[in-house]
Structure 1
C-alpha cells in the first residue's frame, strides 16, 4: 500500500460514498475510511468546510456530485437548491480545509464541472480549463472523472493526473444481463453516434464489439442563437442499411433528450429492430413526458445510465430505465491509485469487455 487512505464525501455524494467505503473495507478488512466533513453556512449565505479528523499523511479522495440539485441550503429565510457552482465552491473549501497536510489529494468528480464549456467561441469564458487550473493551484494531485464531454480537456494539465474513465464495461454487462437474445456481430448489431461529439466513444464501442458504426450529423442554424446555442435544424444519418438490426446509441449525457429521441425515431423509421440508449449521465432536466411518449411509440427499448450522479426517484420507477451501478468501479479506482498501480485497465477496459462478450456468446453454444 502506498499510504494511508482517507475518503471525504461532500453531502452531494454521501450515500454512494458509504457504499464505496463498505466495498473498500471488505477488500481491506478495515472499519471505515470515511472522514466526516460538514459545510455549514453563515447567515450571510457564505460557507466554510470543517473536517472532523486529521488528514495528515493520508491519500485523500474527495467525492463530489456537482449535478445533485436535490440538496438545499437556507438563506434569507428561503431554501435554495444547490447548483453546480455551489457544489464546486464547497469542493474548494474542503480542499482548503486539508491545509496542505494530506500526502496527496485526488478529486473524484464523475460529472466534470463545466465540461460543456470546454472550448471558446468569440467572447466566451473557458470555464472547464479555468476550473482545472484552479484545482491544480489548490494542490490537487489527481482528478478522476467519467466520460468527459471532451476528453481533450486533459491537455490543460499535462503534468497532473487526470483519469477519464469509460463506463462501457458496465453498460455491456448491464445490456447482456438484461437481454439474452443480443447477437453481437456486424449482421445484427451496430453502434450509433448521435452527433459528431459522440464519435470517439462510438468508435471505441463498435471496435471492441466488432460491429459497424453509424453516425448522425447535426445541422444547425448558425444565423440564430437560442439559449446560448445555434438551434438544430435536422439530424442527418451517415450509414448503411440497418433494417432488422439492433442499434446502440451512445452518448455522454441526456439533458433534454430531444436530439436523442429524434435519432431513435429515425433509426426505427429506417427499420431498426430495437434501439438501446447508453448515456453515462442521465440529467433529464426537462422531465420525462417526451421519453414516456417515445417509449409508448416504440422508438426505443431501454435507457441505460449510471448512478454516478443524483438520480430522480421518478426516473428509477420507469419501466424503460436501467440504472448501472458504478460504486464498485469507483472503489477499484480509489484502491488502485492508493496502491500506486496502473489505471490503464480501468480507464480503457477493452480486454474485459471482450471477455464478457465471449462468455455471453459461449452460453449459446
Structure 2
C-alpha cells in the first residue's frame, strides 16, 4: 500500500508544522514535498472535520530566521504563527558551509552555533506550539556520550537542555552511543538505522552483486561498531568479520594511544565483495586502512557504507585509494551537508533519506507506531527478492 492510500485511523496531534533551520533547508524542502503530496492525495471522510483543520496545504514549512549582531550574537524569529501546531524542527549540526560575520570577520558555523540556533527557534515558539519534536540526524556531541575520568558529558547535557525547553520527541540517526537516551528516560528518543536505504542504493548501483554468504561479507572496522555490522549481516543473510585496533598503551600521541596495527577476525575474504559498515566517516583513516587490509587479503570489491560522510580531512586520500583500486564505492546519506566536490566524485553515492524522514513525521503526527519503520525487515526482504529475481532473468 502506498502512503497516499494509507487509511487514516487516528486524528493528528495538531496541525503539522515543519521548521527546517537554514542548515537543513534543502532536505526540509524534499521532506515537505512528500508530505504535501501524500496528504493531498489521501481520501477520507474525516479530512473535512475540525480535527483535521490544515491537513491539506501547499507547504507545511513554517519560515524561521536567525539574525546576527556584529558581535556574532544571534536572535531567532518564527515568521508565522505556530499556535497549536505539532512542530518538527530539523537541524544539521555538521553543516560547516554556512557562515556569519563576527566583528567584520567571516566565521564558519560550528556544531555549537547550530545547536544554539536550534534553541533560539524553540524559544521563539514561546510555549505556543502543541508539541515540539526535534529531528537532528547527527546527534550533537554524540561522541561525548559517556565519561572516562574527569570529562564533560556534553551530549547528555544537550538532551537535558532540549527536554527542559519543552521538546517531547528527539529523532536522530545511527547515534554513536545509543545508550545516551538513558539521560532522558521519560521523553521520546529514537535512533534510526538507515539500513534499508543503504541496501536499496547498493543494489541499484551494483546490479551484478550476488547477495549470499559465498560471495559477500559484512565488515565492522572496529569493535565498537560490531553490533551495527551484525544487524546489517543478519538482515542480508551474510557472514560478518571485524577489525580491531591493536594499540600501544605505553604512550599517548595527540591524547590517544597510537594504533600499531589493524587485526582481522573473521572468515576468508578472498574473492568476496565486502561491505564496510560504520556510523560515520570523519577523517577517514580507519576505513582507508581497513580497505587496504581487505584488498591485501584478496577481497574482490570493497564498498563503504557510513551514515554520515563528514570527510573532515578532505577527499585527496580517498581519491588516491579509488585510483589504486582499494575502495570501489562509498555510500553516505544526505542527512548532513554534502559538498559539491564530494557529489562530483565517481566513487561516491548519495543515499536519499527525505522520504524516510517524511514517513516518520507523518506517523508521529498521527501519533501512530513507528516500529515498522524502525525495523524494516520486510522491505529489505522484498528488495533482496526483487534483486535476485532480476539476476535470474538476466
Tell me whether the two structures share a fold, i.e. TM-score over 0.5.
Answer: yes
Q: Pick the aligned partner of 1:251 from 278, 296, 303.
A: 278
2:90 is matched with 63
In 1, Cα distance between the equivalents of 2:159 and 2:250? 32
In 1, Cα distance between the equivalents of 2:295 and 2:334? 28
In 2, Cα distance between the equivalents of 1:126 and 1:228? 18
In 2, Cα distance between the equivalents of 1:188 and 1:4? 50
In 2, Cα distance between the equivalents of 1:32 and 1:192? 42
Larger radius of gyration: 2
Q: Pick the aligned partner of 2:352 from 325, 342, 357.
A: 325
**Contact 2:70–2:104, Cα closer than 8 Å, also in 1:** no
Matched, 1:25 2:25: no
1:85 is matched with 112
**Contact 1:165–1:348, Cα closer than 8 Å, also in 2:** no
Number of matched residues? Answer: 365
Listed one character per residue, the Cα deviations across residues 152-202 of structure 1 (whole Å, up to 9, x for unaligned) are: 112221111111111110110001001121111111111000001111110
When the two structures are superposed, what TM-score results if normalisation uses the length of structure 1?
A: 0.98
- Kindly state the Cα deviation for residue 133 of structure 1 after the two structures are TM-superposed: 1.2
In 2, Cα distance between the equivalents of 1:108 and 1:223? 42
Q: Pick the aligned partner of 1:38 from 65, 73, 79.
A: 65
Q: Secondary structure at the match of 1:198?
A: helix
2:47 is matched with none
- Kindly state the Cα deviation for residue 283 of structure 1 after the two structures are TM-superposed: 0.5
- Kindly state the Cα deviation for residue 224 of structure 1 after the two structures are TM-superposed: 3.2
Alignment of 1:211-360 (within 5 A): 211-360=238-387
In 1, Cα distance between the equivalents of 2:110 and 2:135? 18
In 1, Cα distance between the equivalents of 2:20 and 2:251? 42
Report the RMSD for the aligned CA atoms in angstroms.
1.1
Q: Secondary structure at the match of 1:142?
A: strand
| Residues 105 and 228 of structure 1: CA distance in aligned 2, closer, same or farther (over 3 Å) | farther
1:151 is matched with 178
1:139 is matched with 166
Q: Which runs of 5+ in 1 are unaligned?
A: none
In 1, Cα distance between the equivalents of 2:19 and 2:391? 45
Q: Which runs of 5+ in 2 are unaligned?
A: 1-10, 41-56
- Kindly state the Cα deviation for residue 41 of structure 1 after the two structures are TM-superposed: 1.4
In 1, Cα distance between the equivalents of 2:142 and 2:252? 20
In 1, Cα distance between the equivalents of 2:108 and 2:254? 21
**Contact 2:145–2:177, Cα closer than 8 Å, also in 1:** yes
- Kindly state the Cα deviation for residue 223 of structure 1 after the two structures are TM-superposed: 3.2
When the two structures are superposed, what TM-score results if normalisation uses the length of structure 2?
A: 0.91
In 1, Cα distance between the equivalents of 2:315 and 2:251? 28
Matched, 1:196 2:207: no
